[in-house]
């Protein structure tokens, strides 16, 4: 345990930030899971709506610095690709 006052404050701040980051990452994972579930069910409208929400969630996480720019871009691209392929696999 830290004896220095400033380090005690940093420990508290770091704990708050870690909790916030964990919550943001969790919301991103939930949004991504909703898109994947809709894609598996073959529901184009639900998948598109879920993709919009997931993209928003990912962009917010990127803006807060929770995930990196390229990671966010990669996640959005993969989700969009999976949603766009819904109609192609059935036809």
Rounded to whole angstroms, the Cα distance separating 78 from 46 reads 17
Chain-centre distance for alpha carbon 42: 22
What's the confidence (pLDDT) of residue 87? 76
Residue 68: DSSP 8-state: -
Q: Out of 1.20.58.110, 2.40.30.10, 3.40.1390.30, 3.40.50.10300, which CATH number does the structure's domain 8-90 have? A: 1.20.58.110
What's the confidence (pLDDT) of residue 2? 82
Note whether 55 and 28 are within 8 A (CB).
no
pLDDT 10s digit of each residue in the chain, 91 long? 788 999 999 999 999 999 999 999 999 999 999 999 999 999 999 999 999 999 999 999 999 999 999 999 999 999 999 999 987 755 4
User: What single string gives the DSSP state of each residue in 31-49?
Assistant: HHHHHHHHHHHT-HHHHHH
What's the confidence (pLDDT) of residue 1? 76
The tokens of 43 are what? 């529901």
What's the confidence (pLDDT) of residue 19? 97
């Amino acid at each position: 345990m830290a004896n220095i006052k400033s380090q005690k404050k940093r420990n508290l701040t770091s704990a708050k930030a870690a909790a916030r980051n964990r919550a943001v990452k969790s919301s991103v994972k939930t949004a991504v899971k909703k898109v994947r579930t809709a894609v598996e069910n073959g529901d184009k409208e639900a998948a598109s709506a879920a993709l919009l929400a997931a993209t928003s969630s990912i962009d917010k996480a990127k803006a807060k610095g929770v995930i990196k720019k390229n990671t966010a871009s990669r996640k959005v691209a993969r989700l969009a690709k999976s949603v766009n392929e819904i109609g192609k696999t059935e036809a």
